[in-house]
Amino acid sequence: MISHGDIAIYETYQGKGYGTQTMSALEVEAKRLQVDKISLHVFGHNKIAFGLYQKMGYEVTDISMSKNL
């Protein structure tokens, strides 16, 4: 298993392919290390990242919900 912290692309640089390049590089390195699955978390409000992950073939596997009291 590989664990990493947050990956973020500053808003100024979004839409320029850096997220795709970053995730592609992560996948190449994971394959090199013989990792057979990548799991990630994306916040529900982060539509840009969610769309990127879907475009790259990631699928929703669970949904977390919460409520502020």
Confidence band of 2 (pLDDT split at 50, 70, 90) = low
Nearest to 23 by CA among 41, 42, 7: 7
Tell me the per-residue pLDDT of 20-30, one tens digit each, with 9 for 90 and over.
999 999 999 99
pLDDT confidence of residue 4: 67
Tell me the per-residue pLDDT of 8-62, one tens digit each, with 9 for 90 and over.
899 999 999 999 999 999 999 999 999 999 999 999 899 999 999 999 999 999 9
Nearest to 50 by CA among 33, 63, 37: 63
Q: Is the pLDDT of residue 68 over 90?
A: yes
